[in-house]
Amino acid sequence: MPPLAIGLTCALGAALAYGCGSVLQAAAAAATRSAERLDPRLLLTLLRGWRYPVGLALDGLGFLLSLVALRTLPLYVVQSVVSGFLAVTALVGVVVLGLRLQRREVAALGAVVVGLALVGLSAAPASARAPGTGGQWLLLGVAVALVALAVPLATVGGRSGAWLLGTVGGLAFGVVAVAARVLAPDGVAAGALVAAPASYALLVAAPLGLTAYAAALQRGSVVEATAPLVVAETLLPAIAGLAWLGDHPRPGWGLVAVVGFVLAVGAAVLLSRFGEIEPVPSGGSQEAAL
């Protein structure tokens, strides 16, 4: 199988894993008492049940698949495909929770498929450009700055808090994606990983993203928490890849890449509501359905 095809297959597998995991994580967050500040203990509370750990394990699988995809694909391709996890979430909501698709949501699912097809067709092999140590320190600085920003924002409640923390979570996951791409090429040795500032940027940003998103889910609807997260975690890596890491589409396919990217991400955001945990129409409990 050609390397680009392997990369696209792994990116689609990551979207599937993230989509199934997001439903379980949303259910766990909805069943947990809301935290009034950014408290890492929230993750420990969520881990006591079965849904959040299984969702987290699926996220881990998705992350590993995205690492493989990043070896051969530009960041904008991988992140736009991964944003399609909301389409997976929508389908899980229909099958498991008995939700119904409205016409605009059927159209959004179709738009996700078309957008991802355009992005895939525009993909060129990932560049081999590696950032210097200074760039990696900058990435670590961004991760630390997001932690400092998240602490006061976590005191904001309601819909505003959900949007703000969802955005912070998305930016944190964006840092994770960029750090993973920096560390992915050519099989970096263990010693180099320990010395690389990008490794610590990933270690700071990953738990921040998980905590911020879980707190956002408790403050508002899944739409209000997930829509800004998807936009932030998709746009930041795409911009970083194009401006910093030398990513580019196939010659002459730039407009196709832009249209596909906007279509896939925009349509995915329209499907955010399917991460909402609602009563099962048949009278069964959410616990049984999930």
User: What CA–CA distance (Å, rounded) separates 201 from 138?
Assistant: 9
- Read off the pLDDT of residues 120-149 as tens digits, 9 standing for 90 and up: 888 887 765 667 788 899 999 999 999 999
Q: In whole angstroms, give the CA distance from residue 122 to residue 248.
A: 9
Of 211, 209, 201, 207, the residue nearest 141 (C-alpha): 201
Categorize the per-residue pLDDT at 14 as very low, low, confident or very high, splitting at 50, 70 and 90. Answer: very high
Cα torsion 108, 80, 172, 187: sign: positive
Average pLDDT, the chain: 82
The residues facing 249 across adjacent strands are: 123
Residue (of 74, 184, 193) closest to 122 by Cα position: 74
116 pLDDT more than 70: yes
pLDDT digits (tens, 9 = 90+) for 262-276: 999 988 888 876 655
Residue 4: alpha-carbon gap to chain centroid: 21
CB atoms near residue 190 (< 10 Å): 7
Residue 289: pLDDT over 50:
no
Higher pLDDT, 35 or 177: 177
Report how far apart, in Å, the C-alpha atoms of 251 and of each of 123, 254, 256 are.
10, 7, 11
Per-residue pLDDT, averaged over 179-187, amounts to: 73
Indicate whether this model's pTM tops 0.85: no
**What's residue 274's pLDDT?**
64
> By three-state DSSP, how is residue 127 classified?
coil
